[in-house]
Structure 1
Amino acid sequence: MIWKAVDALLFVGITAMLLSLAAQMVSRQMGASLPWTEELTRFLFMDTTFLGMAAGFRAAVHPRVNFAVAWGPAWLKHVSMHLYAICGTVFFSVLLYKTVELMLQQYAAGESSPALGLKMFLVTLPLVISAALAIVAHITTVYFSPYMRRRILEGEMIA
């Protein structure tokens, strides 16, 4: 259910980004640029990129160094599976920690975006959620989904 919500948020975010870009292009053609469209597009791009990254790890569609595993001995495949989970979990744990730290700093300082007046901690919140979801995705694809684990071991990309 969480991943369906992520997919819906990605759809809404990308649609809003396209509409914001269209509004900016139309307004420029009319001789007056809308300043908030650039900022909104940038925030939506950043947030959808991170949410998309988490969704990609859920489906194990991110590129990996598969040739070394494919040509190596059988034990290397099984070790690489755990390394994939450990490295991803460690990396996204650091990202989670740093984004929470940044979000708390922005909240304490009361930072707002210049054009939209959005509280900046709200802009950073999707990054925090995305890092947490990426950790969950790494662990579930390796340890709780035999189908995904087989796909990762075989080095296949899922369409």
Structure 2
Amino acid sequence: MGFVRLVDRLNRFAVISLSAAFAVMTLSIFLQVLVRFVFTAMDIRLSVPWTEELARYLMIWSVFIGGAVAVRTDKLIALEVLIHSLPASLGKALKTGAHLLTMVFFGYLLYLGFEFALNQGGRQTSPVMGIPMLAVYLSMPIGALLGTLNLITLFINVFLKKGDIRFVSMEDEAYESLD
């Protein structure tokens, strides 16, 4: 199905972006530790205040985008033991209800995130790097939108294949494209 392939391509791009963000965060924090402790011990006075701010903003993006990708693979925190201990029909209903509640939550984050980003983000800049805070605030609605798309894709895969929503896992062929 075209929609599922499109969302999986978005997720592949998101995973690559998350990997790059993690690498930049690691290098940024490494540089900060190097400057703060090693260079200071060698009596070399440098200042790199942007490293902490960059790492913080990349972490914010990573949380929202990573959480959205985790939705696609059904790897968010859940009490699976409860779902599996109930009768099959009740377990399916509970897990479906939880996913629908998550969709409502993502809808609220989408609304709230755009509202906040558009009202506050254009007027503020980051204190050290001077970037518009809109670039940071947009992480919430973009993550919520990707999470919503991933939930819809999860439902499509489970219900079109007549699968059991209680047993969605990375081993399913529907998720091989993310590996």
TM-score (norm 1): 0.88
CA distance in 2, matches of 1:46, 1:149: 36
**Which of these residues, 8, 20, 24, is aligned with residue 12 of structure 1?**
20
Q: Equivalent residue of 1:15, what SS?
A: helix
**Which of these residues, 44, 56, 59, is aligned with residue 58 of structure 2?**
44
Look up the match of 2:102.
88
Look up the match of 1:30.
39
Look up the match of 2:151.
138
Look up the match of 1:61.
75
**Which of these residues, 88, 93, 111, is aligned with residue 97 of structure 1?**
111
Please tell me whether the aligned partners of residues 103 and 121 of structure 1 are also in contact (alpha carbons under 8 angstroms).
yes
Please tell me whether the aligned partners of residues 60 and 152 of structure 1 are also in contact (alpha carbons under 8 angstroms).
no
Structure 1 residues 8 and 151 mapped into 2: Cα distance closer, same or farther (>3 Å)?
farther
CA-atom RMSD in angstroms:
2.1
CA distance in 2, matches of 1:150, 1:52: 25
Q: Map residues 114-125 of structure 1 onto 2, 5 A cutoff.
A: 114-125=127-138
TM-score (norm 2): 0.79
- Runs of 4+ aligned structure 1 residues displaced above 2 Å come to 146-152, 156-159
Please tell me whether the aligned partners of residues 21 and 62 of structure 2 are also in contact (alpha carbons under 8 angstroms).
yes
- The one-letter amino acid of 1:124's match is Y
Structure 1 residues 2 and 118 mapped into 2: Cα distance closer, same or farther (>3 Å)?
same
CA distance in 1, matches of 2:158, 2:81: 21
Aligned residues: 156
Larger radius of gyration, structure 1 or 2? 2
Look up the match of 1:126.
139
Structure 1 residues 42 and 107 mapped into 2: Cα distance closer, same or farther (>3 Å)?
closer
Structure 1 residue 74, shift from structure 2 partner: 2.3
